[in-house]
Amino acid sequence: MTPSSEPARLTWRGVLDGLKLAPTLAVNSAIYGIIFGVLAAQAGLSAIESGIMSVTVFAGAAQLLIIENWARPVPLVSVVVGLMLVNSRHVLMAVAMRPHLDGLPVWKQLLASGVIVDDNWAIMMGKFEQGYRDAGYILGLAMLAIPCWTAMTVVGNMIGGNIADPRRWGFDFIIVALAIVILAGRWRGVSTLLPWGVAAGVAVAASHWLPGKGYIVAGAIAGSLAGLLRPDPGGPLKSALNKEAAR
């Protein structure tokens, strides 16, 4: 959908609107937090170390990548590079949101895009496509996420030492289930299958030859680029790039 011609705004009313849905997203963050905390305990991190990582990094997929490759001393270079690669999808998400922020000062655009995570971005884009223009909404959505995420990583760590095999309790599937819910909310018709199919195909193929979680990055980039080929004008990334090219 083409962005509304009405200038964007960022107000406290928008923040309060977002706060109405924030508890739901806080539950999502809490579930992810417990999963990360349990896995962090399995990797040998203390509850304090898990909490510090969560409040400073605040990126579930990236933190899970770190835990999977955790060692002492910490391989700083590989950790930083891994964080940048896994979180590179946020650049594409910010580009997609950019046309809907026209009319805002740069610092407000950066404030709104700085709290992007997968679920609040999907909800915010849905609101924008319905004509909503207050970017404060995404700040409200994110307001409870960080404290819930951090607190529950500590809780998960504290109980994680008593769980011998997290997979037996379905911790690995919970992440997949949450991802499916987010995808369902972004369904925009049959054309949506193109980027989703490309992302899945490339990720599966790349998992056989890329180290670590590199296949996630490959799938995300391929799917985003495939979105440019969607025959309908509703692709947010396509709309964003077209508008920037017309400037």
The pLDDT tens digits for 211-227 are: 766 777 788 778 877 87
Asked whether the predicted pLDDT for residue 50 surpasses 70, the reply is yes
Regarding whether 136 and 58 lie in a shared domain, the answer is yes
Per-residue pLDDT reduced to its tens digit, 4-41: 567 899 999 999 999 999 998 898 888 888 888 888 88
Regarding whether 193 and 124 lie in a shared domain, the answer is no
Asked if 58 and 177 touch (Cβ cutoff 8 Å), the reply is no
Residue 85: inside a domain? yes
Regarding whether 246 and 180 lie in a shared domain, the answer is no
Regarding whether 125 and 70 lie in a shared domain, the answer is yes
Regarding whether 236 and 174 lie in a shared domain, the answer is no
Regarding whether 225 and 154 lie in a shared domain, the answer is no
Per-residue pLDDT reduced to its tens digit, 89-105: 788 788 889 889 988 99
* Of the candidates 111, 143, 142, 151, the residue with the CA atom closest to the CA atom of residue 124: 142
pLDDT of residue 169: 63
CB-hemisphere CA count at 13 Å for 76? 1
Regarding whether 217 and 133 lie in a shared domain, the answer is no
Per-residue pLDDT reduced to its tens digit, 195-206: 888 888 998 998
Most confident of 120-124, 181-185, 241-245: 120-124
Residue 5: inside a domain? no
Q: Which domain holds residue 247?
A: 189-247
Task: Look at the alpha carbons of 42, 46, 49, 55 in this order and tell me if their dihedral is positive or negative.
Answer: positive
